[in-house]
A = this chain, B = another copy of it.
Amino acid sequence: MKQISTRFSIAVHTLSLIAVSPQDCTGDFIAGSVNTNPVVIRRIMGMLKKAGLVDVRPGVGGATLLKAPDEITLLDVYRAVNATEENRLFRIHEKPNPACLVGRNIEQVLQTELRDAQSEMERRLAQTTLGRLIAKFE
């Protein structure tokens, strides 16, 4: 099946690293910890910056959190990297046959249910903060 992009987990990794590191984290340093290409990190950092979660200093290098780890939830990160307009987890097939009872109703009825389901997931993501996550590292 189609899974949610690793952008999300990489973003969480990135923020965690910034949170626990005493020194400034450069993109290359983070890339080394995540084990990927620095450009991938920069792209994600750009999204986190746009979402107001981090401040990145061009030229000099390094990133810092703009909120306390306890003020950043997984949902914040999730939203930041999905960064899209709609943000609907489920896709529904388009243009079903309006001449059919089911075709006429399915979109509306199903959408309500699926949005609720997505909300439940997001509610759970909102319950975990970066601070709580970091506290579990050993």
Say what secondary structure dominates the interface of chain A: helix
Q: CB-CB < 8 A to A13: which residues of B?
A: 93, 96, 102-103, 106, 110
- A residues sitting closer than 8 Å to B (CB atoms) are 1-6, 8-10, 12-13, 16-17, 20, 32-36, 74, 82, 84, 87-97, 100-106, 109-110, 113-114, 116-125, 128, 133, 136-138
Copy number in the complex reads 2
The answer to whether B96 touches A33 (Cβ under 8 A) is: yes
Given contacts A1-B84, A34-B103, A106-B12, contact A113 B133 (CB under 8 A): yes
The answer to whether B36 touches A93 (Cβ under 8 A) is: yes
The 4 A-B pairs with the shortest beta carbon distances in the complex, nearest first, are: A121-B121, A3-B91, A117-B124, A105-B137
